[in-house]
Amino acid sequence: MGGIEETVPINDEYDIVTARSQGKSTAASIGFGLVDQTRISTAISELARNILRYADSGVVYIREVASEGATGVEIVAEDHGPGIADLELAMTNGHTTGGGLGAGLPGTKRLMDEFEIDTEVGRGTIVTARKWV
């Protein structure tokens, strides 16, 4: 398994800046090129913003992962907010309940290689996204 693991608590908007710059430097040290670093830090920024917007607080984990000889980065965005009632709708471009663009989740999915959402109404949401070098 990989070595790098960063934990960024998300409690206010400054933490979004911290998370995305941490993501960029972690992606760089794992070996991603500049365009992928930008994709990864943008994805982190969106996930961190969702935490703040919908759940008030949560945590973003950024870690190095390895599988079958490939190296990558895994982002886990975890909150104990309201959860997502209609996941299919949340993954639809243009749909928003939080005053955003409605491009957040589908857009973030497009920037990453793997994308999973585990959510339960009243319990919270865990978004896991991976990208391979």
Partner 1 sequence: MQETYEKIPVLKIGDFLITSIQVALHDRLALSLQDDILNKIQETNAKGLIIDVTTIDVLDSFITRVLVEIAKMANIMGVKTVLVGLQPAIAITLVEFGMELTGMHTSLNLEKGLEMLKELVKENEV
Positions that interact with partner 1 (CB under 8 A): 13-14, 16-17, 20-21, 24, 34-35, 37-39, 41-42, 45-46, 49, 93, 100-101, 103-104, 106-108, 110-111
User: Which C-beta is closer to partner 1: that of 30 or that of 66?
Assistant: 30
- Per-residue HEC secondary structure of the chain comes to CCCCEEEEEECCHHHHHHHHHHHHHHHHHHCCCHHHHHHHHHHHHHHHHHHHHHHCCEEEEEEEEEECCEEEEEEEEEECCCCCCCHHHHCCCCCCCCCCCCCHHHHHHHHCCEEEEEEECCCEEEEEEEEEC
Residue 34, Cβ neighbours under 10 Å: how many?
Answer: 10
Q: Closest approach of Cβ 19 to partner 1, in Å?
A: 11
Q: Closest approach of Cβ 37 to partner 1, in Å?
A: 7
User: Which C-beta is closer to partner 1: that of 14 or that of 122?
Assistant: 14
Q: CA 37: distance to chain centroid?
A: 13
Q: Closest approach of Cβ 2 to partner 1, in Å?
A: 23
User: Which C-beta is closer to partner 1: that of 1 or that of 35?
Assistant: 35
Q: Closest approach of Cβ 23 to partner 1, in Å?
A: 9
Q: Closest approach of Cβ 21 to partner 1, in Å?
A: 7
User: Which C-beta is closer to partner 1: that of 48 or that of 76?
Assistant: 48
Q: Cβ(76)–Cβ(60) under 8 Å?
A: yes
User: Which C-beta is closer to partner 1: that of 17 or that of 121?
Assistant: 17
